[in-house]
Chains A and B, each alone.
Chain A
Amino acid sequence: MKVGFFVPCYIDALHPQAAISSYQLLKRFPELDVEFIERAACCALPLTDMGYHKKACTLERNLVPLLAPYDAIVLPSGVCTDQFRGHFDSVEQTDEVKHIREHTYDIVEFLHDVLKVKSLPWHPKFPARVALHNGCHSLRYLMMARPTELMIPHFDKAADLLGMVEGCEVGYATRRDECCGFGGTFAIWDAPCAGQQGLDKVSDYARNGFKHVVSQDFSCLMHQSGVARKNGLDLKFYYIAEILNGDAQP
């Protein structure tokens, strides 16, 4: 299977370790021919988010020829995955575009649903209790876990994968799937509310005795870690692949 590895801009610049761990993790599977899509830029989420659909269109059009050749496009980010799957609609919906939208996966989905990973033979260890933060897009738009609003059977794909890591004990904040307030441009435009939501979220971890927070959306964690450090809370934040690939230690 020819896999295109797409690296979101914020991960490239601010937390490249998330991409490094994800890339190395994908390279472990001999059945995959993994290629970093080096020429791909932004998924247009910030523009769609702002209502700039016409400008989003330019960005989307630039991406189509770069993404279309792959059997699957894998991203280390739930929110950008949702942008492709759910909102890549400023551009004309050609067969190529439809192919891209139907074959874009967050790495957690890709491991869980496509590769159907049942164990991690490289034996990663993370002997600690971790709070799992399912980012809103991963949770409610990509349905990687059961949102508490929906009365459907429980499942949590990220927790399933973390369960294969030796010593890793998964827990949740009390308000386990309340939004932490990142919301992309929201965190800048409505900083007072985003800051309060973030503070409520990181305080929730701290109250529950967590020292480690893991998520499949580093965008949320970028916000949460900034708020935690600003408020002097001792919490460490990890992108899920860092733990799955055995790169992070508590």
Chain B
Amino acid sequence: MSKNGPVALIFHTLFVIFMLAPIVVVCLVAFTPEGFLSLPVNGFSLRWFRAIASYPEFINAFWVSLWLGAASSLIALFFAIPAALAIARYQFPGRDALSALFLSPLMIPHVVLGIAFLRFFTQAGIGGTFTALIIAHVILVFPFALRLTLAAATGMNRSVEMAAISLGAGSWTLFRRVTLPLILPGVVSGWALAFIQSFDEVTMTIFLAAPGTETLPVRMFLYVQDNIDPLVTSVSACVIAITMAALILLDRIYGLDRVLAGHSDRSR
């Protein structure tokens, strides 16, 4: 295969700078020793990271985000695994319509979902509660949990299952001892991707969050609306660091291009 020419490499360099500049600048400004927005030219300082500790809103919001992401991704899997197995293994009328329905939270704008949930939960009398946030996020992350589980279930070799059945395994034993371990990499990656989606979501959540149930991105957004100072950059830097850690983990266990594209490539 031919190599890239100099023009292509210049384009590539500019492109990478364009993609990284805003992220790098946030991380750099977070280390500024000054009291205002500036690059850390006179040495690095952790004062703005220490300053986070004296803002309980951010700390609180972080814990809300963490629990919300972990819980909603786990609950979504309880619904997504059976659905993925059914879609992967059975041909039945309405199968395509059903998977379109299950993937629809990807298609529906988050602002519309936010409004629909706000109306629904207010009418149901649980507006602004953590329970409402969990239910909303289960729907939000369901497509991600479903897609990766589906890819794993489709690519699975079923002769092991046949062997287990022929040896007299019941359906629950079959699932617990054979099927689940085989699709586990897909399930774990689905959970991780769902967690990241939930952890970073702002548009839908901002309609549902009340004081006390604000997630970290919502808190950051509301803060940025009022004023932009080094404190919010240090919070952003922490969020970026957490996401990067999850991303590298995800790349190691499953391969990032596969996670993002969502199709199963068994040659890997």
Do A and B belong to a common assembly? no
Interface residue ranges, A against B (CB under 8 Å)? none
